[in-house]
Each structure stands twice: as structure tokens, then as C-alpha cells.
Amino acid sequence: MYKVGVVGATGIVGQSFLKLIEERNFPLKELRPFASENSVGRKLKCNSQDWTVSALSEGCFDGLDVVFFSSGDDISKAWAPKAEAAGAFAIDNSAAFRMSKDHKLVVPEVNGHLLDKTKKEIIANPNCSTIQLAVALNPLKKFGLKDVRVASYQSVSGAGIAAKQELINQLKQAIANEKVDTSSGIFTKQIAFNSIPQIGSFKDDGFCTEEIKIMSETPKILGTDINMSAFTVRVPTLNGHAEAVWVTLDKDITKDEFINTLKSQEGLEVIEGDDYPTVLFNDGKNEVYVGRIHKDRQPNTWLFWVTADNILKGAALNGIQIAEKLFC
Ligand SMILES: NC(=O)c1ccc[n+]([C@@H]2O[C@H](COP(=O)([O-])OP(=O)(O)OC[C@H]3O[C@@H](n4cnc5c(N)ncnc54)[C@H](OP(=O)(O)O)[C@@H]3O)[C@@H](O)[C@H]2O)c1
């Protein structure tokens, strides 16, 4: 039985951690939920018990076995090393440690072998849109991943709990023919009935930070250099990310080989023929889904469509699976 901390427990990813701890019978002895000062004293349910939210403070991780972090980069940067120093595993959903050469970036069914049960350390959970791509690309590695291009269609839940409400509010205003209020600044433009080709901030080379995360994290997880390009778009769906992927392989293979290879990947489901997954279909499901598999007109190049629940496999589920590998 383990003592668990969840930082950002009132957020969309944090709440999913609590739900998964219960649903997956994680051997929980004690839960310490943390959030901002605004949430101190709130009671959160897990395993039919109420647990009271605290603010982060010196010594707050003492005695814990694992701490899940889902409160953003700055909080992880400041507090995950304190969890590690207190003798806990720190499983971090932020981008703070993902590209550090001293930290592991783990998708359990892809590179879970890197985990070391004996070493209490900070383990980084990849970006949500990266995880589903890495799961789909992993089995194709044996054919040589020469070139990967990806265009994403990402739901508002990827921007946190307030972003979901923002879409609902804007949709109501737009349908009522009222002026749509975009003043919260959660999105750079109106998201209702729109799509926004920017996730994160732009860098000098024209890529936005979400695209850079996909392009830099994917090769690290797969353990191989890949020529990659990403273009990310926020779309007005509530939950789940979809991606159109073009992959050029070193080898010429048949469609059967391609599909059977994808089917061999743990955590990946293939939908064949004229049917395909959508984010609504994938909502609440643990698996990553692939469909629309067909050959491109370029040599050795394949196209497919990948969906996943960004809060589950893209965040909390991946974190819990890391903990299960460490403890169970
Ligand atoms: N959403 C996704 O699809 C997704 C996927 C992968 C990774 N992530 C990452 O997961 C993290 C959380 O994202 P989210 O979507 O769950 O955001 P969210 O719904 O906005 O939740 C943010 C959480 O952080 C807490 N928080 C804010 N200030 C804090 C402070 N000073 N001390 C402690 N806790 C504080 C909030 O507490 P209050 O309720 O008290 O404000 C809330 O619990 C981010 O790093 C994000 O990049 C998210």
C-alpha cells in the first residue's frame, strides 16, 4: 500500500488521476491532494473517502512514495525536486523535465524498460499529442522511420479545465447571436465555430511550442533520430486529440505488413476498412486508435489517422501506468 500525492488535484488531469487510482485499484494507503490557495480545504473523493486539499509547503511530501504533478511547468520545476529529495518518485505531467538529458521521458508500452524501481527520481510524462503518436510509431520503427509529418486536431480540454468551460460559454453566446467574449485570453482567438493554428507561443522559426514538443519528444521516447515536422491546431471539440500522420519508411512493405505491425503494439487498436475512430468514439477509452490507413503517392509513405483521450492516455493514465510499473 502506497502514500500518494497529487499536485494539481482539482484540475482536469488531477481529477483523472484520482478517478484512475480508484478504478485501477492502485494500492492506496494515503492520498495527499495539493492545489492552489483557492482550493485549500476542498474535499476530493477517492476510494469512497474524502481527502482534504492543501497548498504546497516545505515538508509537504515527507513520507510519500509517489507524487503526480499536474500544475504546470513552474510548479513542477520548483516542487518536483523536493518530492524527489523527500524520497518519492515524482511523475511529472509538465514540460519541465521532458527534454533534460538527466530525466527519463516514458510511455510504458514504448520505453517502460527504462524505469528503475530502485531509483527514486523525477520521471517525465510526455506531451499529450506526443504520447499517442509515439504509441503508433513505435511498432513501425523496425522498418526504419525516415520521415514523419503530423497535423494535429486538438480538443480544448488539452488547455485545462477552464478551457472546456470557455468553449461551452462561447458556443452558447454564438448560438444566441450574442457577442462572443474572448477576454479570458485562454485562446488567442474565438474557439467556438473556429479552429486556431496555434498551440502555445511562436518561436523565431515559425513553429509553436506544441509543435516543438512533438518534434523533440517523439525521437527521445522512440530512442531514434527521426526527420519530423508537426503542425498543431486547436479545434472546438471538448475532449480527445486527433492527428493525421504521414510516415515514410526505409523499407517497402505491404499494407498487410503495415496493419499487422500496428496491431502488434500494446495499447494500440486498429480500425480497418471504411470506418475510423473519432475523438468522441475515443472519449473515456484507454487505448490509442488508428484508422484510415492507406499508402501515399510518395514512395514508401503511409498515411493514417490517430486518436486518443488526451486526459487519459495523453496524461493521467500514462502517469498511472508508470506508477504501476514501478510499484505493482
Ligand atoms: N489537459 C491535458 O490534456 C494535459 C495533457 C498532458 C499534460 N498536461 C499538463 O498537466 C498539467 C495540468 O494541466 P490541466 O489541464 O489539468 O490544467 P488545469 O485543469 O488548469 O489544472 C491546473 C491545476 O493546477 C493547480 N494549481 C494552480 N496553481 C497552483 C499552485 N500554486 N500550487 C498548486 N497547484 C496549483 C490548480 O489548482 P486550483 O484548482 O486550486 O486552481 C489545478 O488543480 C499542465 O502542466 C499541463 O501542461 C495536460
> Looking at the chain, which runs of residues are DSSP E strands?
2-7, 28-34, 43-46, 49-52, 66-69, 89-92, 104-105, 122-124, 145-154, 227-234, 241-249, 268-270, 288-295, 301-308
Grid coordinates in use for 258?
A: 503495415
**Which residues does 224 contact at the CB level (< 8 Å), separation at least 6?**
141, 145
**Pocket of ligand 1, candidates 16, 19, 36, 310: which has the most ligand atoms within 8 Å of its Cβ, to mutate?**
36
Same-domain status, 176 and 304 = yes
What residues does ligand 1 touch, defined as CB less than 6 Å away?
A: 7-14, 34-36, 38-39, 56, 70-72, 75, 93-94, 128, 157-158, 160-162, 310-311, 314-315
Same-domain status, 155 and 292 = yes
CATH code, domain carrying 241: 3.30.360.10
Same-domain status, 144 and 173 = yes
The predicted pLDDT at position 328 comes to 86
- Strands of the sheet with 241-249, listed across from one edge: 227-234, 145-154, 241-249, 301-308, 288-295, 268-270
**Pocket of ligand 1, candidates 7, 12, 13, 77: which has the most ligand atoms within 8 Å of its Cβ, to mutate?**
13
Can you give the residue range of the structural domain that contains 146?
A: 130-310
- Which residue owns the Cα nearest ligand 1 atom 4? 158
CA neighbor of 68 nearest in space, from 240, 287, 328, 326: 326
Same-domain status, 62 and 193 = no
Q: Cα 10 to chain center, whole Å?
A: 17
Give the catalytic positions in this structure.
Answer: 128, 241
Same-domain status, 304 and 319 = no
As for how many domains the chain has, the answer is: 2
The predicted pLDDT at position 4 comes to 98
Grid coordinates in use for 14?
A: 488531477
Predicted model pTM: 0.97
Same-domain status, 183 and 286 = yes
Same-domain status, 208 and 261 = yes
CATH code, domain carrying 34: 3.40.50.720
Same-domain status, 204 and 228 = yes
Same-domain status, 110 and 195 = no
Q: Which atom of ligand 1 is nearest to the CA of 42?
A: 40
Angle between helices 317-327 and 12-23 in degrees, nearest 10: 40
pLDDT by 10s per residue, the chain, length 328 = 999 999 999 999 999 999 999 999 999 999 999 999 999 999 999 999 999 999 999 999 999 999 999 999 999 999 999 999 999 999 999 999 999 999 999 999 999 999 999 999 999 999 999 999 999 999 999 999 999 999 999 999 999 999 999 999 999 999 999 999 999 999 999 999 999 999 999 999 999 999 999 999 999 999 999 999 999 999 999 999 999 999 999 999 999 999 999 999 999 999 999 999 999 999 999 999 999 999 999 999 999 999 999 999 999 999 999 999 999 8
Query: What is the spatial distance between Cα 187 and Cα 165, in angstroms, rounded to a whole number?
Result: 12
- Could you please report the per-residue DSSP string of 105-128? E--HHHHGGG--TT---EEEPPPH
The predicted pLDDT at position 213 comes to 98
- Which residue owns the Cα nearest ligand 1 atom 32? 36
Same-domain status, 143 and 267 = yes
Same-domain status, 145 and 84 = no
Q: Strands 288-295 and 43-46, how do they pair?
A: unpaired
* Centroid of ligand 1 to alpha carbon of 136 (angstroms): 27
Q: Is 91 helix (H, G, I), strand (E, B) or coil?
A: strand
Same-domain status, 151 and 267 = yes
